C-alpha cells in the first residue's frame, strides 16, 4: 500500500495530541491533518478550530468513513484501540495507535490478523525508537563501546499522585480500560525500547503486587528476563514511593563498561568505559513523536520502514501480560 499524501484523521483528540503527537501530523512533509473526532462535540470543534483542522466529528465511524481521510491515528485509551483499529483497517486505512497497542496480547493478535487479511499496515506510538538520545544508546551498544553486553537493569520509582478516595479513578489505573496499571502506561516505553536494542524478551519471571491499596491495579512489579540476543534483564517498578525516592534509570552493563540513561527525563546519556566517562546530551524536542511520524509517513510512501510496527508493539504487550499475570489471574498470556 502506497500513499503519496497522507491525510490523517484523529480519533480521540485529547491531551496527548495537543503537543506530543498532533502537530507532527501537520508539520511532517507529505502529511496532513484533515479531521478529528471526540465524543464531546464541543471539545472536538474547539480542537479543530485551535489546530486549523478542516473537519471535526463526535462519531468515530463518521471520521473513519470520511472519504478524504486515508490514515487514522487512534489516540483513545487502550480499551477502544481494538474496535477502532479493526474498523479503520477494514476501511482500507492504515492505522497509527497510541501505546500500549491494546489491553492485552490477545487483542493485539486480533488487530494483526486483520492487518494481514486486509494488507493494511498498523503502527504504534513507541516514539523512543526515533529519538536521538535513544538512537545514540543503540549506536553505542552496536559499536561495542562497552564491549559485550551482559545485562540491563531498570529501576523506576514514582510517588502516588492524585485523589484515590473517590470512584472516578484515572483510566490509567483502571485495568478494564488500560489493561493493567502504570506498568502498561509507563514501563511499556522502556520494555519496547529494550526490545528494539536487544531483541525480543523471553524467559520472563515476574511478580506483580498491590502494596498500597490505593487503586485496583498493580503498584509494584519485580521482574527478570532474557532477550533473544542472550542479554539478561532485571526490572523493578514501584509507583507508591516517596518523592525522595524518585528514580528513572536504565543501566546497560558490558564486559568493558556501562551506559546509564533515563526513559523519561531526557538527561544526558552517560558512557563509562576504559576511556573514562563521557556524556551525550540530547534535548527534548518540541513534539516528541515527530521523528517517528516522519518514518511512518516515509513507510506509507514506500520510501523506508518504520521502526515501531504492530508486530513489535504486540511483543511488548505480551511482556506486559506476563509480568502482571500472577496478579490478575485472568489468563491474558497468549502463546
- State the average pLDDT over residues 236-255: 96
Distance between CA atoms of residues 89 and 105, nearest Å: 18
Structure confidence at residue 38 as a pLDDT band (50, 70, 90): very high
- State the average pLDDT over residues 326-331: 76
Lowest mean pLDDT among 14-18, 73-77, 110-114, 151-155: 14-18
Q: Which three cell numbers stand for residue 321?
A: 501480560
Q: Per-residue pLDDT for 269 more than 90?
A: yes
The pLDDT of residue 221 is: 98
In sequence order, the 6+-apart residues with CB closer than 8 A to the CB of 176 are: 79
In sequence order, the 6+-apart residues with CB closer than 8 A to the CB of 90 are: 114, 118
User: Is the sign of the CA dihedral 11, 16, 20, 26 positive or negative?
Assistant: positive
- State the average pLDDT over residues 309-321: 98
Q: Per-residue pLDDT for 317 more than 50?
A: yes
Q: Which three cell numbers stand for residue 62?
A: 463518521
pLDDT one-digit tens code per residue, 195-236? 999 999 999 999 999 999 999 999 999 999 999 999 999 999
Ranges assigned E (strand) in the chain: 6-11, 31-37, 55-57, 71-74, 95-97, 122-124, 149-159, 201-209, 220-227, 232-241, 247-254, 257-261, 269-273, 276-280
Structure confidence at residue 330 as a pLDDT band (50, 70, 90): low
Distance between CA atoms of residues 24 and 184, nearest Å: 24
- State the average pLDDT over residues 287-300: 98
DSSP H helices, 52-187, are: 60-64, 81-90, 105-118, 132-142, 175-178, 182
Give the 3-state secondary structure of residue 97. strand
Average pLDDT taken over every residue of the chain? 95
Residue boundaries of the structural domains of the chain: 6-127+289-306, 132-284
pLDDT one-digit tens code per residue, 11-21? 999 999 999 99
Lowest mean pLDDT among 110-119, 209-218, 286-295, 326-335: 326-335
- State the average pLDDT over residues 53-76: 98
- State the average pLDDT over residues 100-111: 98
Distance between CA atoms of residues 133 and 11, nearest Å: 30
CB 64 within 8 A of CB 92: no
CATH class of 132-284: alpha beta
- State the average pLDDT over residues 322-331: 84
CB 269 within 8 A of CB 133: yes
Model confidence, pTM: 0.95
Q: Per-residue pLDDT for 178 more than 90?
A: yes
Q: Per-residue pLDDT for 24 more than 60?
A: yes
**Equal CATH topology for 6-127+289-306 and 132-284:** no
The pLDDT of residue 13 is: 93
Architecture of the structural domain at 6-127+289-306: 3-Layer(aba) Sandwich (3.40)
Amino acid at each position: 500500500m502506497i500513499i503519496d499524501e497522507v491525510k490523517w484523521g484523529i480519533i480521540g483528540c485529547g491531551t496527548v495530541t495537543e503537543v506530543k503527537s498532533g502537530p507532527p501530523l501537520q508539520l511532517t512533509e507529505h502529511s496532513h491533518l484533515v479531521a478529528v473526532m471526540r465524543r464531546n462535540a464541543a471539545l472536538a470543534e474547539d480542537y479543530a478550530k485551535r489546530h486549523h483542522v478542516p473537519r471535526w466529528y463526535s462519531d468515530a465511524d463518521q471520521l473513519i468513513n470520511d472519504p478524504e481521510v486515508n490514515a487514522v491515528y487512534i489516540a483513545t485509551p487502550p480499551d477502544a484501540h481494538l474496535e477502532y483499529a479493526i474498523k479503520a483497517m477494514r476501511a482500507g486505512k492504515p492505522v497509527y495507535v497510541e501505546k500500549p497497542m491494546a489491553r492485552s496480547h490477545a487483542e493485539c493478535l486480533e488487530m494483526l490478523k486483520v492487518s494481514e487479511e486486509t494488507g493494511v499496515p498498523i503502527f504504534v506510538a513507541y516514539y523512543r525508537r526515533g529519538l536521538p538520545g535513544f538512537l545514540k544508546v543503540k549506536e553505542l551498544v552496536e559499536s561495542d563501546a562497552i564491549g559485550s553486553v551482559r545485562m540491563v537493569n531498570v529501576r523506576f520509582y514514582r510517588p502516588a499522585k492524585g485523589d484515590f478516595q473517590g470512584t472516578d479513578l484515572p483510566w490509567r489505573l483502571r485495568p478494564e480500560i488500560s489493561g493493567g496499571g502504570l506498568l502498561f502506561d509507563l514501563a511499556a516505553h522502556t520494555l519496547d525500547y529494550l526490545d528494539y536494542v536487544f531483541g525480543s524478551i523471553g524467559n520472563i519471571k515476574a511478580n506483580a503486587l498491590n502494596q498500597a491499596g490505593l487503586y485496583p491495579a498493580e503498584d509494584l512489579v519485580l521482574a527478570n528476563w532474557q532477550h533473544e540476543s542472550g542479554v539478561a534483564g532485571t526490572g523493578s517498578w514501584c509507583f507508591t514511593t516517596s518523592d525522595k525516592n524518585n528514580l528513572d534509570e536504565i543501566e546497560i552493563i558490558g564486559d568493558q563498561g556501562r551506559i546509564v540513561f533515563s526513559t523519561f527525563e531526557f538527561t544526558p546519556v552517560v558512557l563509562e568505559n576504559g576511556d573514562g566517562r563521557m556524556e551525550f546530551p540530547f534535548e527534548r524536542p518540541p513534539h516528541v513523536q515527530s521523528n517517528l511520524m516522519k518514518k511512518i509517513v516515509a513507510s506509507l510512501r514506500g520510501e523506508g520502514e518504520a521502526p515501531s510496527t504492530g508486530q513489535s508493539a504486540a511483543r511488548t504487550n505480551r511482556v506486559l501480560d506476563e509480568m502482571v499475570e500472577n496478579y490478575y489471574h485472568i489468563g491474558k498470556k497468549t502463546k
